[in-house]
Amino acid sequence: MKVTNNSKAPQGVHTVNGVVFLLPGQSRDLELTEPGHKQASRLDFLKVSGAAPKAEAGEDGREALFAKLKALGVEAGKNSSVKTLQEKLAEAEAKADAKAKEDIIAKLTEKGVAVGDDVTLEELQAELAKHQ
Are residue 116 and residue 72 in the same domain, yes or no?
A: yes
pLDDT tier at 59 (50, 70, 90 boundaries)? low
Domain membership of residue 29 as a residue range? 2-53
Are residue 86 and residue 105 in the same domain, yes or no?
A: yes
Mean pLDDT on 46-54: 82
pTM above 0.95, yes or no: no
Task: Tell me the C-alpha distance between 23 and 27, whole Å.
Answer: 8
Are residue 79 and residue 22 in the same domain, yes or no?
A: no
| Burial of 6 per CB tally in 10 Å (0-12, 13-18, 19+) | middle
101-129 pLDDT, tens per residue? 889 988 988 988 888 878 888 888 888 88
Q: Domains in the chain: how many in total?
A: 2
Residue 20, pLDDT > 90, answer yes
Task: Provide the H-helix boundaries in 45-114.
Answer: 59-71, 82-110
Among 53, 79, 94, the domain-final residue is 53
Are residue 114 and residue 63 in the same domain, yes or no?
A: yes
pLDDT tier at 61 (50, 70, 90 boundaries)? confident
What percent of the chain shows pLDDT beyond 70? 94
Identity of the highest mean pLDDT range in 25-29, 47-51, 115-119: 25-29
103-111 long-range contacts (CB < 8 A, ≥24 apart) are 104/128
Task: Provide the H-helix boundaries in 24-81.
Answer: 34-42, 59-71
What is the pLDDT at residue 57? 45
Are residue 63 and residue 126 in the same domain, yes or no?
A: yes
Task: Tell me the C-alpha distance between 3 and 28, whole Å.
Answer: 6
Are residue 112 and residue 75 in the same domain, yes or no?
A: yes
